[in-house]
Chain A
Amino acid sequence: MIKHRLQIFFLLLIITFSGFSQKKSKLSGFIRDAANSEPLIGAIIYSQNNDHYAVSDVYGHYTLHNKNHKTLTLNISFTGYKTQTITINVLSDTILNFNLVPGIEIEEVLVKGNVPIENSVNMSMHTLPLKELKQLPALGEADIIKVMQLMPGIQGGAEGRSGLYVRGGSPDQNLIMLDGTSMYYVNHYGNFLSLFHPEIISNLQLYKGAFPARYGGRMSSVIDLRMRQGNNKQHKKSIGIGLLSADLLIEGPIKKDTTSYIFSFRRFYLDALIRPITYLSSGGFSAGYKFFDLYGKISHVFSPETRFFVSIYIGEDAISSKVNQWNDNTFNGSHKNLWGNIMAATRLNTKLSNNVLADFALAYTSYKVCSADEYRVDSINFKNHIKSQVHDLTIKSDFKYSPLKNIEILIGAGGILHRFNPAITSNYISMADSVIVDKLDNTNFQADFESYTYIENTLSILNFVNLNLGMRYSNYFTGNTWYNKFEPRLMGAIGNKKTGAIKISYAQVMQSLHLLSNQNIGTPSDVWLPVTASIPPAISTQWILAYAKTFFSKYEFSVEAYKKQMVGLITYKEGVSFFSNDDINWQNKIEKNGKGETKGIEFYVRKNEGNTTGWIAYTWAKSQRLFENINGGKPFPFTYDRQHDLNIIINHNFNSKYNLSATWNYGSGYPITLETGYYKTYDVNWEPQDFDLTQTNPFIIDSKVALYSPKNSVRFKNYHRLDIAFQINGKTKKGRNKIWTFNIYNLFNNKNPAYYYYDWLDPKDKSKGITLWQQSGIPIMPSVTYRISW
């Protein structure tokens, strides 16, 4: 049956290749920012003569086909830039680059800065304008992941966090790529901030489903972030200062118009506040938390059609404590938790012919978690280190072939060499000059190989039917076990501007990596683990039915219904946490072969044009999990299942100087498991009053056994929060650009639940009994940031 389906599918792909031999002319080139030559991703070049258009890709490249016209009148547009209109003669294949000037768009222009949603086969996809993102309210500073949480179908988990739960999926099911390279660790401690500094990101696209075949390896979402390439015309600097962090960005040409650089460094300095407080309050003990993010990119233009990029990211979180001469002056020690990513990628992007664009990449990424204790008592030195690491080496190539008007074929392949060291431990003890213990354990590593190939074909028929047909073949080799899967990807849209478009999608994805994580706080306990011979990959299947239409030429409306089924999920066993040392083998800590089902309906209205922009997103959703040994083998709601979720976002530019924005979020409560009853039972009588050596019974009725509600059957109270931000743009006396941003988080000071627990209503008067208490989340919280650039 599967073979038969594959045959039909490949037939469809082949059919779409027909007619390649037709002769026509073609216009191609790059669309860039005139000020700094940054590529503009998603810009539109529109032919007024034949109502055809093309969209620039992640390198700013476009290809526009022309069949009958010798002269073309073109509009080149992009949101936030002035539209260019030119008329040219096209007698043969022509290369033409465009540089757009930033500015307000002219209202009369026929084609706006985005592809009309009726003409796009894409669904379940969002592109977030970075400029608008930076103007939205934030807790401290703007964060890309938190803005994504305002989109339909996406939950953020606990309040104030950068968690990402897309259509009932868990965080490890999100493929988050920076310049095409996947990142393991994407949120700093506590999930209050993500790694991605908005100042260095040029573009991001979020797919919640309907994944094109070029993406794979994760089941719930794809987030494709691209770093800026740097200004290749003049040197620029930018400094941002907030209450808890500061950042510096520099960019400029190494060789004008040819080679550019951009570097950004961000430092979180909570430790500077906490260390003095802990030191003064304890007399010798100090603790603190800090992180840094360092981004860099160098871009070189060999020719107008060949470019080379080197991207790096280095980031590290650190929680550390020190004790100096504790109490009796004989104890000195330190404890550190370090964790972070390193990413380095090189990429060559070139045109092999007029029809074929190629992209070759070689990338390295690693993720590590370390815990280090070092202390000294008298003349004895102790050192204990634990380290968990993942290293990936990726090589891949992608080819884009544009043989015909409205047909684009992507073909690619890649391989990833994974190396896992789940827990390397080292112990060292010395007394005076003699070494007592010097051990290094668990140095064995697991090396796995992952590979894929794909073909993807985007085509448009009579400007009324748009298709994206693809197939991905994924492999994963671990030890002597080989997992492989054909993953069909189908997207189709029927309709036009008048009727609106009905869209459908079907996608299967195999995921070969699992994350064992503390879902609440995103601590350095996140451990990425591969599939094994006994733990197979997870596989998801998602169906989407959607309708999209633009109303009054300004308001994009879409409604999407989806259903996603997942198999091969894992979770912790009952009573097990990452920190428990009951069993060294992590495979014994997990429940496997879990199933998940999520379904929902998402409504989305967006206004992109004019002084007032924003969107309204409403989601109804239901997400469940099923494990044989959890909840008695009965299905239970996913931890971040939110049935109703409403987001309203408004952003208003009064003029070029003042901007006001607000976001309001309302959601039904997340599910929790709550103690509902108890009884008392025997436990060891740890402190017997009457000690009798001959007494054989060590037990006494003392311990309290809790009776729980069925798993996740209780709901938190509903959630709502209003945030506002006011931004003032101006110039300093030296003529530098400055931006003041004033934020108020949770303006209504609503007490949203963080967790519940039982305790005495009045500890001084226990006759009032026990009641349920709520620990509330973040109350009203003002903050201010200042940015200067020149």
Chain B
Amino acid sequence: MTNLKIIGLLLVVISGCTIPVEIETPQPEQKPVIICFFTPTEPFVLHLTHSANQTDTTTNIIDNALVTLSTNEDFYTQLPHQSNGYYTDTTIYPKSGIMYNLTVEIPGLPTLSASDSIPAAVSTFSFIKYTEKRWFTEGSEYSGLTFEIDENPGTNYYEILYRVSYHHPFYDELTPQFKIGHFRTIGLADDDIIWQSLFTNTLFAGKKITIELADNNIEYFRSMDSLNYTVQILQESPSLYKYRHTLIKHLDAQYADFWEPIEPVIMYTNIDNGYGIFAGYQSQITPIIFPE
């Protein structure tokens, strides 16, 4: 496909040109945007802005809103504005299994609202073994890291990532990175249930599941000094999972170009009268200890 693009682009570059243009475009409806992911280990932090026009490069923060959190069990509090559109109270931590109701009142605008909860954490998420490099059928080599999840009953939604940092011998500095690896389930009829970093437990609900991270960079990382290698699993609420799923597709579609057009993906939101997301998650991290 790259060759097609190169040649196609060459034809256009040879023959075309670019000019600024003015056309009539519909103006998007300006709406407040709430971004709040919450997890038991951190206090509630809510970011509140206005959506912007495409040509607007300024940040449209909202600092005069009344942000209220409540539950169905007599919990009620307000999150004060701190700075740059962030609303938080460092003493208020969310808890798993409780439905939180959010209302945001902004002068002159309809009240925004949303509800979500934090799912229970998986009981086991552990690193099992490291496997020496093997071959992918696609033609590249990889090494494997195997994990085990002993999950909770019901429908669960996961996101799995690995993070790595090391001292690069040339640059002599830490190069921390989060990565989406080639994760796949082991022992299931369909081992391709993990899309990007996201998956659900539809094929193994309530059972132990083994996951392998197949990564052709592991050997490279192992050759570096001061390697820190961890794998993180997020158990997400259905709303957060849907938001993350849509976001990945949304961003992919944004990178589509004339040569590979993709239908734009409209972002999911669970905010009434606004854009954004208010959703909870659990996180567990397991360090990887490579054999000497």
Q: Which residues of A contact B (CB under 8 A)?
A: 189-190, 270, 274, 287-289, 319-321, 335, 337, 373, 382, 384, 427, 429, 436-437, 439, 518-521, 523-524, 571-577, 579-580, 582, 584, 630, 632, 673-691, 693-694, 696-699, 701, 703-711, 713-717, 751, 753-756, 758, 761, 766, 769-779, 781
Contacts and interface: CB of A to CB of B under 8 A. Distances in A.
Contacts of A756: 21, 23
A335 B3 contact: yes
Given A337-B3, A779-B16, A674 B35 contact: no
B149 to A, nearest CB: 17
B161 interface: yes
B55 A691 contact: no
B26 A714 contact: yes
6 contacts: A574-B253, A677-B54, A680-B33, A709-B28, A775-B16, A779-B16
Contacts of A698: 161, 163, 178, 232, 234, 283
Interface stretch (B88-96, B132-140, B202-210): B132-140
A630 B234 CA distance: 30
A772 B137 contact: no
Given A678-B51, A714-B23, A685 B28 contact: no
A384 B139 contact: yes
Given A706-B264, A715-B23, 7 more contacts: A519-B261, A574-B266, A630-B263, A677-B28, A687-B176, A693-B163, A772-B21
A584 B190 CA distance: 12
Contacts of A774: 18-21
Given A521-B8, A714-B26, A706 B254 contact: yes
Interface in B7-58: 7-8, 10-12, 15-28, 30, 33, 35, 37, 39, 41-42, 47, 49-55, 57
B242 interface: no
B165 interface: yes
B20 A319 contact: no
Interface stretch (B65-73, B97-105, B211-219, B244-252): B244-252
B176 A520 contact: no
A576 B264 CA distance: 9
A704 B51 CA distance: 11
A139 to B, nearest CB: 10
A574 B7 contact: no
Contacts of B19: 751, 773-774, 776
B17 A708 contact: no
A713 B138 contact: no
B275 interface: yes
B198 to A, nearest CB: 11
Interface of B: 1, 3-4, 6-8, 10-12, 15-28, 30, 33, 35, 37, 39, 41-42, 47, 49-55, 57, 59, 135, 137-139, 161, 163, 165, 174, 176-179, 192, 195, 228, 230, 232, 234, 247, 249-254, 256, 258-267, 275-277, 283, 285, 287
A321 B6 CA distance: 11
Please indicate which of the listed interface residues A571, A676, A753 has the most CB atoms of chain B within 10 Å of its own CB: A676
Please indicate which of the listed interface residues A382, A691, A705, A771 has the most CB atoms of chain B within 10 Å of its own CB: A705
Contacts of A577: 256, 260-262
A717 B23 contact: yes
The binding surface of chain B is classed by DSSP as: mixed
B184 to A, nearest CB: 14
Given A437-B135, A709-B25, A287 B3 contact: yes
A698 B232 CA distance: 9
Contact of B247 (A674, A703, A715): A703
A582 B195 contact: yes
A580 B262 CA distance: 10
Contacts of A684: 161, 178
A432 to B, nearest CB: 14
Given A521-B259, A574-B264, A771-B20, A693 B25 contact: no
Please indicate which of the listed interface residues B18, B228, B256, B277 has the most CB atoms of chain A within 10 Å of its own CB: B18
Contacts of B30: 677
Contacts of B228: 691, 693
A518 B260 contact: yes
A776 B17 contact: yes
Nearest to B259: A521
B262 A770 contact: no
A436 B254 contact: no
Contact of B258 (A520, A572, A699): A520
Contact of A697 (B37, B137, B265): B37
A677 to B, nearest CB: 4
Nearest to A371: B1
Contacts of B20: 761, 771-774
Nearest to B11: A190
Contacts of B53: 676-677
B200 to A, nearest CB: 15
A762 B33 CA distance: 29
A690 B165 CA distance: 10
Contact of B178 (A630, A681, A686): A686
A676 B54 contact: yes
A710 B266 CA distance: 10
A433 to B, nearest CB: 16
